[in-house]
């Protein structure tokens, strides 16, 4: 059990059967009245964020999120297939469970499968990936007054914005959280 007075960023708690992760918290002691804890909570399944206040003595069960490293195998249109490299067990997930998580992930790359009590709720890609550009327009000389960018399609089919000097066939490094170009690989 975790009391509201012991909240820290990143802790996951179970409130009425829903698992939330604490994004932000603040202990408030007003001049009049009792102290309370103001929080921002993120629903780990839906990603929605709510703000809620608690008395410091309120207690909640700690929720345990299991993260397992698995290899992304392939997508057959109906399901995405993953394999545990230790036990060689395969798991199939629906497109709803995966969402946009595999937008920058090639087949045979490692991802983390997140679950609560054996129920998978999301897929976490690696933070940074290196992908090859398959299609982009050529940049024009003199068109660099500011940080000019152009759209490019990478080998997974996702679109990113890259600087004008990046050409077709080059490998680039991408931040999967934001989808931003970081550097040449």
Phi, psi of 175 (to 5 degrees): -85, 115
**Same-domain check for residues 133 and 115:** no
Alpha-carbon distance of 43 to 171, in angstroms, equals: 36
Confidence at 141, pLDDT banded by 50, 70, 90 = low
Q: Percent of the chain at pLDDT above 70?
A: 96
pLDDT for residue 51: 92
What is the count of structural domains for the chain?
A: 3
Range of the domain at 105: 66-124
56: its two tokens: 């410091």
pTM of the model: 0.67
Q: Above 70 in pLDDT, residue 90?
A: yes
pLDDT for residue 144: 57
Q: Check residues 24 and 44 and name the one with the higher pLDDT.
A: 24
Cβ 53 vs Cβ 24: under 8 Å: no
Q: Above 70 in pLDDT, residue 118?
A: yes
pLDDT for residue 138: 80
Alpha-carbon distance of 41 to 13, in angstroms, equals: 9
The distance in angstroms from the start CA to the end CA of the chain is: 46
Alpha-carbon distance of 173 to 162, in angstroms, equals: 10
Note the Cα 106 to chain centre separation in Å: 16
**Pick from 12, 37, 60: which residue ends a domain?**
60
Alpha-carbon distance of 183 to 45, in angstroms, equals: 32
**Same-domain check for residues 8 and 43:** yes
Identify any residues that bridge with 130 across adjacent strands, giving them in sequence order: 173
């Amino acid at each position: 059990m975790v009391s509201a007075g012991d909240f820290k960023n990143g802790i996951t708690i179970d409130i009425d059967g829903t698992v939330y992760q604490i994004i932000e918290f603040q202990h408030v002691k007003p001049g009049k009245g009792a102290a309370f804890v103001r929080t921002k909570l993120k629903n780990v399944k839906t990603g929605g964020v709510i703000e809620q206040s608690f008395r410091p003595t309120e207690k909640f069960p700690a929720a345990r999120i299991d993260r397992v490293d698995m290899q992304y195998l392939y997508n057959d249109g109906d399901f995405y297939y993953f394999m545990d490299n230790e036990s060689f067990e395969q798991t199939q997930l629906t497109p709803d469970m995966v969402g946009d998580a595999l937008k920058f992930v090639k087949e045979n790359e490692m991802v983390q499968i997140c679950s609560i009590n054996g129920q998978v709720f999301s897929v976490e890609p690696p933070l940074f990936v290196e992908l090859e550009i398959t299609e982009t327009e050529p940049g024009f000389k003199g068109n660099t007054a500011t940080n000019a960018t152009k759209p490019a399609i990478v080998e997974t089919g996702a679109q990113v914005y890259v600087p004008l000097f990046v050409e077709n066939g080059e490998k680039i490094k991408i931040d999967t959280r934001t989808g931003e170009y970081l550097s040449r690989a």
